[in-house]
Amino acid sequence: MRYEVIRQQLPLFDEDGRAGATDDEHGRDLYYLPDLPEEDPYAAGHRTCAGCGPAIQYRWVLKAAGQDTVVAGPTGCMYVANSTYLCTPYTVPWAHTPIASGGSFTSGMAAGYEAMIRKGRYPGPYPNILVMAGDGSASDIGIGSISGALYRNHDALFVCYDNECYANTGIQVSPTTPYAGMTTFTPFGKAIPEGKKLPPKNLAKMMAEGHPHCYVATATVGYPVDLMNKTRKGLNHVGAAFLHCYTPCQKGWVYQTSMTIELGRRVVESGLWPVWEYDPAERRYHYFHPPVQRPVTDYLAMQGRFGHMLPEHVATMQVGANRNWEAIGMDVPAHLRDLEDPARHQRLKDEEYSMPLNRGVGA
Ligand SMILES: Cc1ncc(C[n+]2csc(CCOP(=O)(O)OP(=O)(O)O)c2C)c(N)n1
Ligand code: SF4
Ligand SMILES: [Mg+2]
């Protein structure tokens, strides 16, 4: 006998309330949170650093997914710092996978649940299946297995929590490390004064362009309701979905621990992390247009990993941000265009910005 696979539909959180709570002194919406579920599948008691962006992202995503969820986590900080022998912070089933296998392991889970439900060996409904992989895993070592899973359209949500480095092994460069981002593998010096020479891999666009039948979105920990709604949309989508989330790493980026959420806003407001959704039914991108457009220095100066940047490096970063503004359909104000000229910048460490500076890399 063949049984029907019943799928869940998670309701979206109210964003109207968020719109009603707008206009702080910068014209931004406030940190509004609607009535969130009390359940916390990612419970307290783990060992991540204070202010850890990936831990915040894990909490919001699992709150949005709820109790009827199974999770996989490839090797990385969110495996190692979360789990000790026979102990994890999860109140839902969780499995560790090798760093390269997040996609293939999750494909197996999805296919297994489908088969078990159809054969009447699991009562259903079909659970929320998700994997949360670091950028080293999702954009580098394990990209093949995730791309394969997206291509085969397994019904699961594939999340990349992006802390822009291989954090767990001591802050090494990854493909998503930004231009000029200092890591232990991209130190600045006489030969390479900018530290990292290459721009970051555009992982989310690769996933959307390469798998046009999938729901794909970007998010940051600076916009929790948006992150939770995109989690639910990805889980509700029948088939594969990919979510790329910006998650600051306090240890690797060297910033004040209380600034994780603020960084998640400023990276968007400085044009360095476009927030969007790709709708596979329409085959269209929907871009978020932030109400504030800042110079990149408002973002860079909060982090020690950029403290070595010279005027030409800051100008290069502003060029990239300005092209991003154009790509998402926003005008580039004259004062941001002017900042493409290196002569308009000092060495970053000599400037005075709104945030106190730390120096160095935290490895
Ligand atoms: C095949 C393989 N290569 C290298 C490692 C060593 N390793 C363990 S965790 C890690 C860092 C993973 O980086 P990322 O996926 O970005 O997660 P993060 O640590 O930043 O949370 C590495 C390189 C491994 N476990 N397996
Ligand atoms: S090193 Fe970074 S990603 Fe790892 S636990 Fe600390 S803050 Fe989180
Ligand atoms: Mg990482």
Q: Measured between alpha carbons, how far is 136 from 113 in angstroms, rounded to an integer?
A: 28
Task: Please tell me if the CB atom of residue 249 comes closer than 6 angstroms to any atom of ligand 2.
Answer: yes
Average pLDDT over residues 163-174: 98
Looking at the CA of 168, name the nearest ligand.
Answer: 1
Report yes or no: 220 and 267 within 8 Å, Cβ to Cβ.
Answer: yes
Looking at every residue in the chain, the average pLDDT score rounds to 92
Chain segment 94-149, per-residue pLDDT in tens: 999 999 999 999 999 999 999 999 999 999 899 999 999 999 999 999 999 999 99
Report yes or no: 75 and 282 within 8 Å, Cβ to Cβ.
Answer: no
- Find the 249 Cα to ligand 2 centroid distance in Å: 5
The whole-number pLDDT of residue 358 equals 45
Q: Measured between alpha carbons, how far is 141 from 150 in angstroms, rounded to an integer?
A: 16
Please tell me the pTM assigned to this model: 0.94
Of the pLDDT bands very low, low, confident and very high (cuts 50, 70, 90), residue 362 is very low
Average pLDDT over residues 52-67: 97
The pLDDT > 70 percentage for the chain reads: 91
- Find the 176 Cα to ligand 3 centroid distance in Å: 9
Nearest protein Cα to ligand 2, atom 3: 249
Tokens of 59: 């909490």
Task: Please tell me if the CB atom of residue 250 comes closer than 6 angstroms to any atom of ligand 2.
Answer: yes
Task: Please tell me if the CB atom of residue 278 comes closer than 6 angstroms to any atom of ligand 1.
Answer: no
Chain segment 238-267, per-residue pLDDT in tens: 999 999 999 999 999 999 999 999 999 999
Report the nearest atom of ligand 2 relative to the CA of 163.
3
Q: Measured between alpha carbons, how far is 149 from 108 in angstroms, rounded to an integer?
A: 9
Least confident residue range of 32-46, 157-171, 184-198, 319-333: 32-46
The whole-number pLDDT of residue 356 equals 44
Contact partners, residue 6, CB within 8 Å, separation at least 6: 117, 124, 125, 126
The whole-number pLDDT of residue 33 equals 67
Report the nearest atom of ligand 1 relative to the CA of 78.
21
Contact partners, residue 330, CB within 8 Å, separation at least 6: 289, 293
- Find the 101 Cα to ligand 1 centroid distance in Å: 12
Task: Please tell me if the CB atom of residue 54 comes closer than 6 angstroms to any atom of ligand 2.
Answer: yes
Chain segment 73-91, per-residue pLDDT in tens: 999 999 999 998 888 999 9
The whole-number pLDDT of residue 115 equals 97
Report the nearest atom of ligand 1 relative to the CA of 54.
21
Task: Please tell me if the CB atom of residue 307 comes closer than 6 angstroms to any atom of ligand 2.
Answer: no
Tokens of 151: 């291509």
Q: Token match 């621990």: residue?
A: 257
Looking at the CA of 54, name the nearest ligand.
Answer: 2
Report yes or no: 173 and 185 within 8 Å, Cβ to Cβ.
Answer: yes
Looking at the CA of 254, name the nearest ligand.
Answer: 2
